[in-house]
Chains A and B, each alone.
Chain A
Amino acid sequence: MGVSKGDEMLINEIKAGNEMAFEALVLKYTPKLMSVLTGYTKSKDHAEELCQKTFIKVWQKINTFKGESSLFTWIYRIGINLAKNDFASRFSKNSKFTESLDQDQYDFPEYRSPETELIAAESEIKMMQFIQSLDEDTKTAFTLREIEGRTYDEIAKILNCPIGTVRSRIFRARQLILEFMNQENILNG
């Protein structure tokens, strides 16, 4: 899968030197990247450090991005490579481990552990329950977008409604979830 139209526009802006566009990109992909990196490092602090390094590299290398993969796949690869290098260098500095280091020890865990979650587990459950409780029209449009990655045009055809309605339903879903997060004090402050 190549780069999406939206990301392509964002990249063009960044390539043209628009730093605000780069900030938007960082905000958009930080949660996903943090999720991957916390799974690898098992440490939120360490993941944050790697996340910052990744985006610095993204900024430096954006001109080399050819759009052959999705933007996040590209960011993900940079992040993972940095994590691997960091992991290896940490071990190589520690003579106790250097001698006994074998290939298995380089294997990273694939899944996140509860202690590295971005949102507390109970808050996640509450949020998912809230999303499930959204009205059918809103939930369907939002799920088609978020889970299936459909474009607004595709969703409009599936749901047999105007694109503007799709856009408002998806926004409505996000708005309600944000309100719920505020109300439940999830990730505030």
Chain B
Amino acid sequence: MDKNLEKMSALYDGELSQNEMQEIIKKMDSDESMRNAFYKFGLISELMQRHSEQQKSKITYLQNYYRKLNPLFTNLVTAAATVLLTLIVLYQFDDDRFKVDKETSFRLSSAISSDQAKIQLLNADQNIMEHMIQIMQSNQSNKSQQLSKNWIPVGFSVSPNNPNQYSNGRNNLFFHLENKQLGIKNVKYFKANNNWIYLIPLKDGRLLTAYGDIPPSIADQMIQSIYQRN
């Protein structure tokens, strides 16, 4: 029965050969429970697609939510929230699995534009979203704890204007370190426009947020190094 249902599922997706299709359609004709299941496949599909559409309107809702949350939020802040909300959560990973290869890049680029990614972000912990928006809007250098110099990627040097900003001449990276965990156990990273936000929970209970135009291929080494030295 399961084999038939699996074939029917593939039929629904148009992924059967002509012969298999004829065979399974014949079986469906004499089996009401199969026809009932096939109808429900359509129902589930309709439900998912409609909810996916509704998720888009949630972006507007959340924009308003953030404006209410802090009336001082400027249009710029709202724009940043929208960027985060629409360009989305990418990937969660364990530090020991954090290797960015070609396949991962493909997967990530697909995830950026996927509705699933949007859904994931919209369902993400609001505390994380609020934290990221705050970090993006303000470098909060005065609130950040001092960083270990060992954590700075090779080739980057500190900005004279901001002790938490580092540059290698082409890329900029901001760090923010505080006693906050946000319930994150593994490194998470997010992409917003050309910038990446890395949330790195440290073993001592603090949260390091790195933000800048540093792609995962560069951040990988940095995060490995932080974990080795923390």
Which chain A residues have a beta carbon within 8 Å of chain B's beta carbons?
4-7, 9-10, 13, 18, 20-21, 23-24, 27-32, 35, 118-119, 124, 127-128, 131-132, 139-140, 143-148, 151-152, 157-160, 167-168, 170-171, 174-175, 177-178, 181, 187
Q: How large is the interface on B (under 10, 10 to 19, 20 to 34, 35 or more residues)?
A: 35 or more
Are A24 and B46 CB-contacts (below 8 A) given A13-B25, A157-B106, A160-B103? Answer: no
Please tell me if the beta carbons of B44 and A177 are within 8 angstroms of each other in the complex. yes
Cα A9 to Cα B13 in complex, Å, equals: 12
Nearest residue in B to A160 (C-beta to C-beta)? Answer: B103
25 A-B pairs (CB sep. < 8 Å): A6-B13, A9-B14, A9-B21, A10-B21, A13-B22, A21-B25, A27-B39, A28-B38, A29-B42, A32-B45, A35-B50, A118-B43, A128-B47, A139-B116, A146-B49, A147-B115, A148-B116, A151-B15, A152-B13, A159-B107, A167-B15, A175-B5, A181-B40, A187-B40, A187-B43
CB distance from B186 to the nearest CB of A (A): 13
Query: In the complex, which residues of chain B have a beta carbon less than 8 angstroms from the beta carbon of A30?
Result: 39, 42
Cα A171 to Cα B10 in complex, Å, equals: 8
Most chain B CB within a 10 A radius of its CB, from A4, A29, A160, A171: A171
Query: In the complex, which residues of chain B have a beta carbon less than 8 angstroms from the beta carbon of A151?
Result: 13, 15
Please tell me if the beta carbons of B42 and A171 are within 8 angstroms of each other in the complex. no
Closest 10 CB pairs of A and B: A6-B14, A31-B42, A143-B116, A171-B9, A31-B43, A171-B6, A31-B46, A20-B29, A147-B115, A27-B39
CB distance from A37 to the nearest CB of B (A): 12
- Consensus secondary structure, chain A interface: helix
Query: In the complex, which residues of chain B have a beta carbon less than 8 angstroms from the beta carbon of A159?
Result: 107
Please tell me if the beta carbons of A28 and B43 are within 8 angstroms of each other in the complex. no
Please tell me if the beta carbons of B14 and A170 are within 8 angstroms of each other in the complex. no
Q: How many A-B pairs with Cβ below 8 Å?
A: 125
CB distance from B5 to the nearest CB of A (A): 6
Are A24 and B28 CB-contacts (below 8 A) given A6-B16, A118-B43, A158-B106? Answer: yes
Q: Tell me if B48 is interfacial: C-beta within 8 Å of chain A.
A: yes
Of the candidates A31, A147, A171, the one whose C-beta lies within 8 Å of that of B114 is A147
Which chain B residues have a beta carbon within 8 Å of chain A's beta carbons?
2, 5-6, 9-16, 18, 21-22, 25-26, 28-29, 35, 37-52, 103, 106-107, 110, 114-116, 119, 123
Q: A18-B25, A32-B46, A177-B44 are in contact. List 16 more A-B contacts (CB 8 A).
A: A4-B14, A5-B14, A10-B14, A10-B21, A13-B25, A20-B29, A127-B44, A143-B114, A143-B116, A146-B48, A147-B52, A147-B114, A151-B13, A175-B9, A181-B40, A187-B40
Please tell me if the beta carbons of B48 and A20 are within 8 angstroms of each other in the complex. no
Cα A148 to Cα B114 in complex, Å, equals: 7
Query: In the complex, which residues of chain A have a beta carbon less than 8 angstroms from the beta carbon of B106?
Result: 157-158
Most chain A CB within a 10 A radius of its CB, from B22, B43, B106: B43
Most chain A CB within a 10 A radius of its CB, from B13, B42, B116: B13
Query: In the complex, which residues of chain B have a beta carbon less than 8 angstroms from the beta carbon of A119?
Result: 43, 47
Please tell me if the beta carbons of B46 and A35 are within 8 angstroms of each other in the complex. yes
Cα A37 to Cα B25 in complex, Å, equals: 27
Nearest residue in A to B22 (C-beta to C-beta)? Answer: A13
Please tell me if the beta carbons of B10 and A32 are within 8 angstroms of each other in the complex. no
